[in-house]
Structure formats: structure tokens, C-alpha cells
A and B are shown apart, each in its own frame.
Chain A
Amino acid sequence: MSTTLDNSNLAHRQTWNLIPWVVNGSATPAERQIAETHLAECVDCRDELAFQSLLHAGMAMDARALNDGGLAFARLMTRIEREDRNDVTAAGLEGTTTVARVGLPASRAVRRRHTRRRISRLLVGALALQSVGLVLLGAVLLARPSVRGLLAPTASVGYQTLSSSRRSAAAPTIRFVPSPMLSVGGLQTLLADAHLRIVDSSQGGAIYGLAPDTQADRTGAGETPIERNAATAKTIARLRVTPGVLLAEPIATSTTESR
């Protein structure tokens, strides 16, 4: 009994809400079926349907004369054609191929301009993304110890440019006079074998000041002055027996002189 009453109330509410859409013809067939079934047994809903049908009929009664649509259409087309001409002019000024010129409406030209604008925005976006990427890549590389070592001012492998100050030359420890017959290649071989390098020379290049080549001979690093003097004496002894060497003698340094 109660269920029947609930169903009846539900159908009543549904039909009441559906009445305007039944009246204006937009209700679906299923909705119409629900409404019609209930309307057959509900006086209130039939009364409401009649009232809404009356409203519908009253609103549809409007036979007032209107302005001529043809004139309004002519005005609109004049406006559209004027805008199309302006688009052609604008496109010509931009130096682009105009769409309107081939007979398409201005909307195509407008759409093409929008597309160009979108492409420009995409390019700007890509450029910004690329910049961010480069910054991030730089940050990652800088964080690597190997790269940081390369860029550090105390790097063991230094680079000298013409504009930068020269690497401070070591003090010569051996005075060296080669034979004029000694070739450049022979001199280079001789210096390389003895782990020496030219750090000074007299005017005219006849007498050279030599010093241990610390980069070639790393064994000398950290040795005491006595050990250094002993090594120099040993090197001089070897130079003296080498063909093409006219003179090889120690150069007194402040350390050696103090001894």
C-alpha cells in the first residue's frame, strides 16, 4: 500500500516536472510515456498541462511585423566584405600571401593569423625551454668534480694565453754552453734525457741557464736542498760526458752559497 503511494507520488513529481517539455515538444518518447500514463489518472497534472499549454499558446501569439530581413542581410554582407578588404590590405602590408585574395572568407585569414600567432608562441616557448635546459646542463656539469678541477685556478694542467702573465720561471741551476755543431733536435733530445729545460739565456743565445724540468721529472718534488744539489751534480757529470756539450757547471744559488 505504502509502496504504491510512493510510486504514485514519484510519478506525480516526474510528470509535474516534465509538463513544460511535453508541452513544447522536447520531451523524449520515454518521458512522454511516463507523463501520459500519469496524466490519465491525475486531475491536478491535467490541470497543470492545460495551464502550461495556455501559456505556450499565449506566448506563440506574436504576429507583430518586423523589419525587412533582406535589408539587414545586405548591411551585414557589406560589413563582412569591408572587413575582408581590410584583411586583404592588412595581409598585403604584412607581406604574406593573403587567403582572402583567392576568394575565401576573412575567417580563414583570421584563422591563419591565429595559427601563425600560435606557432610564434610555440617557438618562443621552445626557446625558453632550451635556455632552461642549458642552464640545468651547466649546473650538472659544474657539479662534477672532474669539470670543477679543470676550471679551478689551482689546476695542475694550466693554460697560458698570450695576454696572461708568463708562468714564473724556475731559477737556473746549471750554466750550459752547447757546441755550435749541436743541432736543435740534438739539444732537445739531450735536455729531455737529462730532464732539464732552458729557463734563461745570454744575449745572443750562446749560454743557457738550465733548471730541472719539474713536469718531466716529478721525482724531484719534495726533496731537500742537499738532495737537490746532489742531483744537479749528477746531471752535470752526465752532461759533461755527452757529445756536443762545451760547458756544464753549477750556478750558485742562495742555498748553495750559504753552505
Chain B
Amino acid sequence: MIEHEERPAQEVHEREWLVAVSQGDRRAFEHLYQRYHDRLARFLLRYTPRRDLIDEIVNQALWVVWRKSGEFRGDSKVGTWIIGIAYRCMLKALRDSGSRQEPFEAPFDESTTGVADDTDDGEHRELRDWVRHGLLLLPVEQRTTMELAYFMGQSCEEIASIMNCAVGTVKARMFHARLRLRNTLPALGGEISHARTGLA
């Protein structure tokens, strides 16, 4: 996750790169690509296990960044703008694939994805699995709100911009998602001990 305090300096760099990209600077584009490819791919991996589709969506989103960099107005952070593009590309790709349910309900376990998780710690794995299964029970909009907030580190206003909705809508989605997770997580894995994770 990106810490709040680090954002200004990172934002300055990203804006400089974006201006350079708008003037055809491929090196600056490579910097942006490297910064966002992994982040976007991991975000998309939470919606579909298909690595080929993920690569396609990420490349499509960054292709739009290359083409439209001159149209960035600076109303939001560069990251929010890019994530918004990727989110729309994802929705379109999922629509075009003809099956909305399959990618949105992508199973998280490694047996399906065929990729081993290198998180070996049993307790951490247990927590991660509870959270994943709890998220899958949420409506897509609520889940995406949670993903954008906790996985992508976006603020309430930034999520509204990405999902093209009102800030109040984001707050309502977050509120209902929290209530639902409160109710479903104990059923999935019992009460999670604060002491066990040491996060309380």
C-alpha cells in the first residue's frame, strides 16, 4: 500500500512523466508502465484468474494512457486517473467476454489459478482466505469499493471519481459492505482474534 505521506513526491514524478509521455517520451512511458503494471494486474487478479485477460486489460489501459496523456487535466492524482481507466477497461473486457459472473467471482485459491502463493504463514493464510471469501459474498459495487479503498489505497473522493458516482454513494457502499462483512466473517471462520494478528 502507498502511504499518504509519500504521495506528494510520487505525484510530482508521475505528473512529470505524464507530461513527457504527452510529448512522445517513451522512456517516461516505460517508467509509468513499470509503476502501474504490477499494481493494476494485482487489482484485476481479484476479479479474474485469467492471466491473459489481465495482461490484455492492463495493456489496453496503459495504451489509453499513452494516447490520452495530453488530455489529463490534473483534476485528480495521476494514479487515480490511471486506475479509473483500468477500471473502465476491466468493465468493458468483462462485458465483451460475455460472462460477467465468471470473472467477478474468480476463485482465489491457487489450485484454480495454478500459481502458488508464497505466503507460508498459516495464520496469515487463514486470515487472507477469510477475507477473500467474505469479499466474494458482497455485491460487486460494494466489493469494488472495498478493493479500491483497502487494496488500491484510494480515498472516498478518488473512488467516486474512479467509479463515476457520488461521494455519498461510495460512503453508502462502504457502510453496507462493512455491515455485511461483520455478519459473514464470523460465520466463515469464527471470531477473528485481535490478539492473534496483533493489529488491534
Contacts and interface: CB of A to CB of B under 8 A. Distances in A.
A and B, one complex?
A: yes
Interface of A: 17, 20-21, 23-26, 46, 48, 50-67, 69, 72-73, 75-77, 79-80, 103-108, 110-111
Contacts of B23: 104
Nearest to A77: B26
A17 B115 CA distance: 37
Nearest to A26: B155
A73 B127 contact: no
B68 A107 contact: yes
30 contacts: A20-B178, A21-B149, A23-B150, A24-B155, A25-B1, A26-B4, A26-B155, A50-B199, A51-B182, A55-B150, A56-B150, A58-B131, A59-B135, A59-B151, A60-B150, A60-B151, A62-B45, A66-B41, A66-B42, A66-B45, A67-B51, A69-B37, A72-B59, A75-B55, A75-B59, A76-B63, A104-B23, A105-B26, A107-B24, A107-B69
B150 A73 contact: no
Dominant SS among interface residues on chain A: helix
A108 B37 CA distance: 24
B113 to A, nearest CB: 7
Contact of B37 (A23, A73, A110): A73
A21 B155 contact: yes
A111 B70 contact: yes
> Which of B41, B118, B131, B146 has its CB near the most chain A CB atoms (within 10 A)?
B131
Contacts of A67: 41, 51, 54-55
B158 A73 contact: no
Contacts of B175: 17
Contact of B67 (A20, A60, A61, A107): A107
Contacts of B30: 73
A50 B200 contact: yes
Nearest to B152: A24
A63 B117 contact: yes
Contacts of B1: 24-25, 60
Interface string B156-196: 10100000000000010011001001100000000010100
Nearest to B2: A25
A183 to B, nearest CB: 86
B90 interface: no
A52 B178 contact: yes
A62 B38 contact: no
A58 B130 contact: yes
Contacts of B99: none
Contact of B131 (A55, A66, A69, A107): A55
Given A17-B171, A63-B117, A26 B153 contact: yes
A59 to B, nearest CB: 5
> Which of A17, A20, A65, A77 has its CB near the most chain B CB atoms (within 10 A)?
A20
Q: Closest 9 A-B residue pairs measured CB to CB?
A: A58-B131, A26-B155, A50-B200, A105-B24, A69-B37, A25-B4, A61-B128, A53-B199, A59-B150
A65 B115 contact: yes
A51 to B, nearest CB: 7
Contacts of B54: 66-67
Contact of B154 (A26, A62, A69, A79): A26
Contacts of B42: 62, 64, 66
A58 B63 contact: no
B5 to A, nearest CB: 8
Given A26-B158, A76-B33, A103-B24, A66 B38 contact: yes
Contact of A59 (B51, B146, B158): B146
A69 B38 contact: yes
A65 B38 contact: no
Contacts of A20: 149-150, 174, 178
A76 B45 contact: no
